[in-house]
Amino acid sequence: MLKLWFAPNTCARVTMTALEDIGLEYETGLIAFMAGEHRKPEFLAVNPSGKVPALETPQGVLVQNGAILSWLAETYPDAGLLPATDDPFEKAQQQAEIFRCSSDLHPLVTRFVMPQMISSDPEDAPRIRAKAEEMLRFQLAPLADRLDAADWLLGDSWSVLDAYVAWIWFRITGSGFDDRAFPSLLRHHQSAMNRASAKAALARESAAEAALEKRGLLFRPPFAKGAER
Ligand SMILES: N[C@@H](CCC(=O)N[C@@H](CS)C(=O)NCC(=O)O)C(=O)O
């Protein structure tokens, strides 16, 4: 059985949504960041980078959303995570879409939501966030244009890229990015989160949040709406 290591509200939500779309049973392992569990030997033995998601498979552990999603899409083609193709160029184009999320956008999300991971001087935070916001606007604009013309990022059908961009939107707008900046992304996020697989992933996250809260370990990003700055 597959086992997903995750923490609520993180990019592991993208892999979790994909697993829900596939519809097979899977186990989860919850990492309490507030307790430093991502730096403990037990988890470093799973992913030496100390990051979620990490997916235990019968063949071994896979890390990096992009790799996990590509593997899941090929292993469970009926789930429609990515459009089916045998064409190497089309596959490379799909990879480019995924890498845009993981390599271009996610680092900007980190800078915007958690500037303290970039500089430990709190005085730097506003500058880091402002630059990240500017770059996010630039990088999101072409995606918003695509969503002005189509329901989903790859056209008429949902793909796992939609779950990825929905997570990015959730994370930045939850941290003060103006959710009116790109109406098509706002609409897209609502549609993506209305899908059954997203709701199932959110339900698992809520249960995990409740478990963490009970232990006094629920993490809230410092710039979250309503959080103390
Ligand atoms: N490139 C990685 C990024 C994974 C990542 O940064 N995950 C975050 C949560 S969203 C994490 O585990 N951060 C903990 C850390 O970096 O120490 C991927 O796409 O899987």
65 lines ligand 1 (CB under 6 A): yes
Task: State which ligand 1 atom lies nearest to the alpha carbon of 68.
Answer: 20
Residue-wise pLDDT for 179-201, tens only, equals 999 999 999 999 999 999 999 99
The pLDDT value given to residue 223: 74
CA 14 to chain centre: 5
50 lines ligand 1 (CB under 6 A): yes
Structure tokens belonging to residue 196: 């059954």
52 lines ligand 1 (CB under 6 A): yes
Question: What value does the mean pLDDT of the chain take?
Answer: 96
Task: State which ligand 1 atom lies nearest to the alpha carbon of 50.
Answer: 17
Residue-wise pLDDT for 38-80, tens only, equals 999 999 999 999 999 999 999 999 999 999 999 999 999 999 9
| Span from the CA of 110 to the centroid of ligand 1 (angstroms) | 9
CA separation for the pair 70, 100 (Å, rounded) = 14
**Least confident piece of the model among 1-5, 192-196, 205-209, 219-223:** 219-223
| Span from the CA of 117 to the centroid of ligand 1 (angstroms) | 12
Nearest to 204 by CA among 17, 70, 23: 17
16, pLDDT greater than 90? yes
What does the buried/exposed string (b/e) look like for 165-184 if buried means 16 or more CB atoms within 10 Å of the residue's CB? bbbbbbbbbbbbbeeebbeb
51 lines ligand 1 (CB under 6 A): yes
CA separation for the pair 50, 8 (Å, rounded) = 15
Task: State which ligand 1 atom lies nearest to the alpha carbon of 171.
Answer: 10
Predicted TM-score (pTM) of the model is 0.96
| Span from the CA of 106 to the centroid of ligand 1 (angstroms) | 9
Residue of the CA atom closest to atom 15 of ligand 1? 51
Which of the four pLDDT bands, split at 50, 70 and 90, describes residue 228? very low
222, pLDDT greater than 90? no
Q: Which domains does the chain have, with CATH numbers?
A: 2-80+197-214 (3.40.30.10), 88-195 (1.20.1050.10)
The pLDDT value given to residue 225: 63
